[in-house]
Amino acid sequence: MKRKICEFLTVFLIYIIQITLGSKMEIGGIKPNLLLILPIVFGYLNGKNEGIYVGFIAGLLYDIQASSLLGFSSLVFSLAGYLSGIFYELFEQNNFFIPLIITFITDLLYETFSYVGNFMLHNRLDFLYFFERFIAPECIYTASCVIILFWPFRFLNKKFEKKERHEKRSESYVTRSPGSDS
């Protein structure tokens, strides 16, 4: 339970950073989607369930902040966390290339579907312009942020795991009765 609360607080902190410092991180009118990185990294480090949980929370906050479709980002971010969680235990946790690739592909799909929903359906059909000007640069920028954010999130995850192991050991010590062999 403590882990879930800490994960929620981490998502909320990144949300605050994205909405307050987003304009400071802007390069050529492009901002990274920091909230998309969270479910991918947490899913990769902890499995599908963590990825889905963090993805839903991050997506909901993103929808509140920037989306006109409530629930769309939650769905995509949860799927990204699930996809990333598939690679949990398949690769060494020091390998940040898997989250980097998943972030790039997920952001590409997310932004393309957002284009279809927000622009193409309103008869703004210049997809190549939107792709070159907005979609591709944001995918590259967001994926490059994975390189920077992966290590602090990995460190935070190791702290969570260490604390959980310590709590489990202390619980098993307390629950064992004297003279039991288990």
What would the pLDDT profile of 88-134 be if each residue is shown by its tens digit?
Answer: 888 877 788 989 999 999 999 988 888 887 777 677 778 899 899 99
Q: Is residue 178 assigned to a domain?
A: no
What would the pLDDT profile of 106-115 be if each residue is shown by its tens digit?
Answer: 999 988 888 8
The token pair at 129 is 């312009």
Q: Is residue 163 assigned to a domain?
A: no
Which residue in 123, 59, 53, 110 sits closest to 82, CA to CA? 53
Q: Is residue 174 assigned to a domain?
A: no
Determine how many CB atoms are found less than 10 A away from the CB of residue 107: 25
The token pair at 167 is 């709590």
Q: Is residue 171 assigned to a domain?
A: no
What would the pLDDT profile of 15-66 be if each residue is shown by its tens digit?
Answer: 999 989 888 888 888 999 999 999 999 999 999 999 999 999 999 999 888 7
The token pair at 62 is 């993103």
Instruction: Measure Cα distances from 82 to 34, 78, 99, 107, 110 in Å.
Output: 17, 6, 12, 15, 15
Q: Is residue 152 assigned to a domain?
A: yes
Number of domains in the chain: 1
Q: Is residue 176 assigned to a domain?
A: no
Q: Is residue 75 within 8 Å of 56, Cβ to Cβ?
A: no
3-state SS class at 147: helix
**Residue type at 92?**
E
Instruction: Measure Cα distances from 102 to 24, 163, 165 in Å.
Output: 25, 29, 29
Q: Is residue 88 within 8 Å of 46, Cβ to Cβ?
A: yes
pTM: 0.83
Domain of 52?
Answer: 2-10+24-158
CA distance 73 to 55: 9
Which residue in 59, 50, 70, 84 sits closest to 160, CA to CA? 50
